[in-house]
Chains A and B, each alone.
Chain A
């Protein structure tokens, strides 16, 4: 009995980051009413880390997040809480301008934090969404 966890794999193999970058994490896990999405970094079509500006990385990440959520039967509209990590809080507005495009109305609850990120990424975004 009880809820079970289900590993979510996005359709686009380039977004199979754990396999492509050999990392011990799952892109997302669904359990009960919720989907838990790993921190996503910008990835190019070949599945390698994409290094751009905060704006371009944010756009690429949120496009990928859309696909990961869709693989779980969810969508950006169903995101409850998002956490955004950026390498410098001086870039806060640059992130926000792009973020706004993806969440035009009733955006999720959110936390933003300036942090050191792995692999030279400038932005990393994770979320919890309704399944």
Chain B
């Protein structure tokens, strides 16, 4: 238990999704420590342009979860290894619609989750962060 852990920064393979770097924001896309990955809050960024897809909330959530899958897969992990996920909506009235889209991505044994509505940056209708298990292969970055 006295093993000393170190932290390493995780970045998406697609550079268009590297919002921290592209927008010069003072956070990392994700950080890995030991077996765990901590991702920053993610929004509906277009993987082709790097711009934001601020359309209907279902599309925003689908885009954000797709981006999260890419981010996790870039680190040898995946949505099926997410432990805890926090979803922040701009409007709690979107709760039922969010759940509908959610089931597409987490059909069985979904992660522990907390949902609330807060004021978000950049006009985002949604922001999602998570804690996940890293890849099972130590060569993935452990």
Contacts and interface: CB of A to CB of B under 8 A. Distances in A.
Interface of A: 1-5, 7, 18, 23-29, 31-32, 34, 36-39, 83, 85, 113, 115-119, 124, 126, 128
Contacts of B111: 25-26, 29, 36
A38 B112 contact: yes
Interface of B: 35-36, 81, 83-84, 86, 89, 91-92, 95, 99, 102-103, 106, 109-118, 131, 133-138
Contact of B83 (A29, A113, A118): A29
Contact of B114 (A31, A32, A124): A124
7 contacts: A2-B136, A24-B103, A29-B84, A34-B83, A39-B116, A115-B116, A116-B91
B134 A116 contact: no
Contacts of B114: 38-39, 83, 85, 124, 126
A3 B133 contact: yes
A36 B112 contact: yes
B137 A24 contact: no
Most buried by A among B115, B118, B131: B115
Contacts of B89: 116
Given A2-B133, A36-B84, A113-B118, A26 B112 contact: yes
A38 to B, nearest CB: 4
